């Protein structure tokens, strides 16, 4: 597993940007606190990225959103809040204990009717869902990234927005042997994003989660 290194100044800048620009609400803070108190790994997106997801939902006018990887529901809250009246988010989580905490956090945010947490391996859940989704956010087991991208195409339509988190992984995509469990799958998924199915880019980020990035794409 790769070590994520967060430089102190990256963290300070992220905190300043979060307080000055992003301005998370008590429901976002609560989701983070609950996750910490219940001993969940601190692997949710940064608040700056949560806000970006929320803006992408609004900018794209998405009404149906699919998330793969729920954890405590932090990113689900950001996206769920951005949905228009009648919109819906389906989010997939493998671990029942994570799903239970996410449901609590989503209910505290008033989103229990707008977000459905599906428990089980995402590949099983995805096979039960019906598209088209307008936006797909992928943030789960990296080994299945390419399968999730193929599902995004299957459950999407031309123009569906796809966001794939952890696309830079401390630069390990240039040296996948640094993290044999994850990096080769990340590279494979980026190659898929660079192929004919998608129109894509990758934005590098530096912050509390270290040096990373996200891929942003639309289905062709
Ligand atoms: C990085 S966390 C998600 C963070 C969340 N998107 C956020 O930003 O708040 C990844 C989550 O995916 C879940 N996960 C891992 N493998 C999975 C699988 N095969 N199917 C569904 N969920 C999975 C993990 O249990 C974990 O809760």
Q: How many domains does the chain have?
A: 1
Query: Is 17 within a domain?
Result: yes
Closest atom of ligand 1 to CA, residue 144:
19
Measured in Å, residue 164 CA sits from the centre of ligand 1 at 12
Q: Residue 101: inside a domain, yes or no?
A: yes
Domain housing 63: 8-219
Q: Whose CA is nearest to atom 4 of ligand 1?
A: 44
Hey, which of 47, 51, 140 would you mutate to test ligand 1's pocket, going by the most ligand atoms within 8 Å of its Cβ? 140
Whether residue 98 has its Cβ less than 6 Å from ligand 1: yes
CB atoms inside a 10 Å sphere around CB 26: 10
User: Is residue 3 situated within a structural domain?
Assistant: no
- CB 94 near ligand 1, within 6 Å: yes
Has residue 2 been placed in a domain? no
Q: What residue owns the CA closest to ligand 1's atom 7? A: 44
Mean pLDDT computed over 76-92: 98
pLDDT tens column, 171-183: 999 999 999 999 9
Residue 204: pLDDT band (50, 70, 90) is very high
Per-residue pLDDT of 102-156, as tens digits, reads 999 999 999 999 999 999 999 999 999 999 999 999 999 999 999 999 999 999 9
The Å distance, Cα 141 to ligand 1 centre, comes to 7
Cβ 148 under 6 angstroms from ligand 1: no
Q: What is the C-alpha to C-alpha distance for residues 194 and 5, in angstroms, rounded to an integer?
A: 27
Residue 1 is assigned to a structural domain of this protein: no
CB atoms within 10 A of CB 155: 20
Query: Which tokens is 144 given?
Result: 């299945």
pLDDT classification of 1: cutoffs 50, 70, 90 = confident
Looking at the domain assignment, is residue 82 inside a domain? yes
CA distances from 138 to 9, 85, 108, 131 (A): 28, 24, 24, 16
CATH number of the domain encompassing residue 104:
3.40.50.150
Q: Dump strand ranges (E) for 126-209.
A: 135-138, 161-165, 198-207
pLDDT score at 38: 95
**Residue 30 half-sphere exposure toward CB, CA atoms < 13 A:** 15
Answer whether 165 contacts ligand 1 (Cβ < 6 A): no
């Amino acid at each position: 597993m790769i070590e994520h290194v967060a430089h102190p100044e990256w963290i300070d800048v992220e905190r300043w940007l979060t307080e000055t620009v992003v301005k998370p609400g008590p429901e976002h803070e609560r989701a983070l606190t609950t996750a910490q108190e219940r001993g969940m790994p601190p692997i949710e997106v940064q608040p700056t990225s949560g806000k970006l997801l929320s803006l992408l939902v609004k900018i794209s006018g998405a009404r149906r959103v699919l998330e793969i990887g729920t954890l405590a529901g932090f990113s689900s809250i950001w996206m769920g809040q951005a949905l228009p009246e009648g919109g819906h988010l389906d989010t997939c989580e493998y671990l029942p204990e994570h799903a239970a905490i996410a449901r609590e956090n989503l209910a505290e945010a008033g989103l229990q009717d707008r977000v459905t947490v599906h428990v089980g391996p995402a590949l099983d859940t995805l096979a039960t869902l019906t598209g088209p989704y307008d936006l797909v956010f992928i943030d789960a087991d990296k080994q299945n990234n390419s399968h999730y991208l193929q599902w995004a195409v299957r459950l999407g339509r031309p123009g569906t927005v796809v966001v794939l988190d952890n696309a830079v992984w401390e630069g390990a995509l240039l040296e996948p042997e640094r993290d044999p469990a994850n990096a080769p799958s990340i590279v494979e998924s980026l190659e898929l994003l660079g192929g004919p199915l998608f129109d894509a880019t990758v934005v590098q980020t530096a912050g509390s989660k270290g040096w990373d990035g996200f891929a942003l794409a639309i289905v062709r």
